[in-house]
Chain A
């Protein structure tokens, strides 16, 4: 499990995350949604140990998140940070050298599941195929926690659905937990067990998808809109 206890993160005067309390239980797929600037990416960097909280604590399992947390957290950033001159095979070699939980065969399987040519250099790949390669190396880690920050951003519907299917096929929910941020809410709703809604750096709500549907007879987008509007009214 991952727990944020009263976490705040300030960048100079700006509060990116403010008194955030949230708990992610194991063996689930959890979506983190909210408007731009609501703190999603900052929350992920805090969990991945890439940022230190200004206040509060971030626990991954039993341990405080720091740089070493990367051994148990596979974090996929929303920006392309790979060497452009690598091809997929070289990227796989590199990942294998960095992460002891990296499963080479799984990476190859995912690439072929997503129909990507592993010989092409990353800089020559289309944006869609770069997105697929990024997913393949991230999902190929047998890490207990996987964080995907905006995996669908700028990708066409075919790539998005092949990524969703790759997640379903290769994620092992008996041993892994996946947390994902996206604005493509309708598309990932069936993939999620739970959702956390962020606004202005705090948690507006957390809920189970099927309970939201049962209790409110509405899908995730409508529920989120109502939460946002309710906030504005008060």
Chain B
């Protein structure tokens, strides 16, 4: 269905994040064919120029490859996909740290919090198992 976009970020950037997340989650695998520009544009409710830009930028970043006359595919370069996973992790960590810093938490408090959170989750899992 038509996508909801956040107000504070360019739409093409949000679409790159969406397709990248699908690749990282394994919904789209290395070498998979991606939908055509128009299919994906209709599906997400953006115009074809924007979708073209999404594929163009992802190609420049080495995440997808366009084969003449065949369409666009997820790269088969597994090293690049591993990098993408790391980049995404970095992105989320930065956003988390920024939000927490604005609330006045120090990095040590965040790390303690994460360790504690992990402990709680593992405790819960032990309990249910």
**Which residues of A are at the interface with B, using a C-beta cutoff of 8 A?**
27-29, 161, 164-165, 168-169, 171, 173, 189-193, 209-211, 213-214, 217-219, 222
Contacts and interface: CB of A to CB of B under 8 A. Distances in A.
Given A161-B2, A168-B38, A169-B38, A190 B8 contact: no
Q: How large is the interface on B (under 10, 10 to 19, 20 to 34, 35 or more residues)?
A: 20 to 34
Contact of B10 (A165, A169, A210): A210
Interface stretch (B22-30, B46-54, B98-106, B107-115): B46-54
A233 to B, nearest CB: 23
B7 A191 contact: no
Nearest to B48: A173
A220 to B, nearest CB: 9
A20 to B, nearest CB: 25
Contacts of B9: 213-214, 217
Interface of B: 2-3, 5, 7-13, 38, 41-42, 44-50
A213 B45 contact: no
Given A217-B8, A219-B7, A222-B7, A193 B42 contact: no
A193 B49 contact: yes
Dominant secondary structure at the A interface: helix
B7 A213 contact: yes
27 contacts: A29-B49, A164-B45, A165-B2, A168-B46, A168-B47, A168-B48, A169-B38, A169-B42, A173-B48, A173-B49, A189-B5, A189-B11, A190-B2, A190-B44, A190-B45, A190-B46, A190-B50, A191-B45, A193-B49, A209-B11, A210-B10, A210-B11, A210-B13, A210-B50, A211-B10, A213-B11, A217-B9
